[in-house]
Amino acid sequence: MRRQITTHSQIDPFSEALGRIQRQLDNSPLEQVAAGLKDVIAQRRCAVEAGRGDNGQSLVLAAEIDRILDSLPTSFGERFHFDSQLINVIYKTVLPTVTDLPFPLVPRASGDWGLQTVRVFTPGKLLECSVHVFHFPGADDIAHVDLLDYAFLAHEFGHQLIRISPRSFQTDFGAELTQFINEARLRSITDRGQARQRAQEVLTSISRYWQPIDSQHDWAHELAIDVIALWLCGPAYAEAFKDYLERSKIDAHQISDGHPPYAVRVTGLTIASEVMGVSKYVSGIRALSDSWDLPAMKGDRVANYYGLTDKRIIKSVVSCAIRTCQKLGLTQCTDETLSRIREALLTGLKPAPNLDLIIAAWIQFEELGQEKYQEWERQAICALLR
Ligand SMILES: [Zn+2]
């Protein structure tokens, strides 16, 4: 009998997963997720006992549960609650007409800013649904909150906003990109030999990097989302972006998957600021980019770089992104927004936990200087933790 029990626990593929669910999620704000995972395990066990399904399927499910747990927050301290409050209030104030999500948006301490969609299960119904996990740099420690850097949260929200906007950006820009490529192809029809080959290579690269895809892991989406973040946070985003560029060792012209070169992002933000009528907000990053060297490439490669980063494509992304902001009814951060927040700060009001807090942090840093700003930030965070 004893021997049988030992054997059973050794082959139970879920005992480890259940222990992990308990340790990580029980009595946490993600109890609902824990309940869904436990339900799906119970259902799989019943199926195996009834002779439906085999151990192999159970092992696949156990591995999937492991992946889900890896993606979810592992601690729920003060910072988790602060960030959680912030993202949920921002969501409701940015999109007041959107009804509540079945699961909250959750933060997790991480290496860098990011947004991850994690598929989980609805308890009882066993339907799959998504938890949106916002990654915040630093540890789950309230002392790691740096509100001046939080403008990047607006960028991560941009990913979510584009996802819920009914494919408008992807469709709009996709059509403009196709037209651009078709016209360029027609123009190169008379090219011969190497010139023809080079033109073809550039067009293939344009399609590879700029084509907007569902995962949003492409240049078009990332640039559009910078534009949305500028729309939402104005100078607070532009300055956070500049600070990041200054403290990181970047190659402004580096070609890589996912994000366009920083030089392209700065050009996009500059064009966007002009269209939005707020060009002074980006004067800092513009000045910084003026100090950058030209691309360190030679011959055909530099010609390819300029072809791939054609300003007409950047302009098209910017105008499609601004149209998306307008379609979603997002409120633009303008001088009036800054005056409203500045006046509230002068009366001693603590900003609400939404984008106003992030914009207020930028205003206070500019007006108070580093030392007094730190004290203001500490008090603003304390007020929201009570
Ligand atoms: Zn992004």
Task: Give the pLDDT confidence of 2-43 residue by residue, as tens digits.
Answer: 444 444 445 688 999 999 999 999 999 999 899 999 999 998
Q: What is the pLDDT of residue 166?
A: 66
Ligand 1 center to residue 366 CA distance, Å?
Answer: 26
CA of 57 to the centre of ligand 1 (A): 35
How remote is the CA of residue 138 from the centroid of ligand 1, in Å? 18
User: Percent of the chain beyond pLDDT 90?
Assistant: 69
- pLDDT at 191 exceeding the cut of 90: no
pLDDT digit string (tens) for 88-139?
Answer: 999 988 887 766 565 678 999 999 999 999 988 877 766 778 899 999 999 9
- The 3 state secondary structure assigned to the chain is CHHHHHHHHHHCCCHHHHHHHHHHHCCCCCHHHHHHHHHHHHHHHHHHHCCCCCHHHHHHHHHHHHHHHHHCCCCCCHHHHHHHHHHHHHHHHHCCCCCCCCCCCEEEEECCCEEEEEEEECCCCCCEEEEEEEEEECCCCHHHCCCCCCHHHHHHHHHHHHHHCCCHHHHHHHHHHHHHHHHHHHHHHHCCHHHHHHHHHHHHHHHHHHCCCCCCCCHHHHHHHHHHHHHHHCHHHHHHHHHHHHHCCCCCCCCCCCCCCHHHHHHHHHHHHHHHCCHHHHHHHHHHHHCCCCCCCCHHHHHHHHHHCCHHHHHHHHHHHHHHHHHHCCCCCCHHHHHHHHHHHHCCCCCCCCHHHHHHHHHHHHHHHHHHHHHHHHHHHHHHHC
User: To the nearest whole number, what is the mean pLDDT of the chain?
Assistant: 90
In tens, the pLDDT along 259-295 reads: 999 999 999 999 999 999 999 999 999 999 998 887 7
pLDDT of residue 287: 94
Ligand 1 mean position to 157 CA, how many Å?
9
Of the pLDDT bands very low, low, confident and very high (cuts 50, 70, 90), residue 52 is confident
C-alpha 222 – ligand 1 centre gap (Å): 5
Cα–ligand 1 centroid distance for 114 (angstroms): 7
Tens-place pLDDT, residues 289-317: 998 887 777 777 787 889 999 999 999 99
Report CA(156)–ligand 1 centroid distance (Å): 6
What spacing in Å lies between the alpha carbon of 3 and ligand 1's midpoint?
A: 54
Separation of CA 155 and ligand 1 centre (Å): 6
pTM of the model: 0.91
pLDDT score at 49? 85
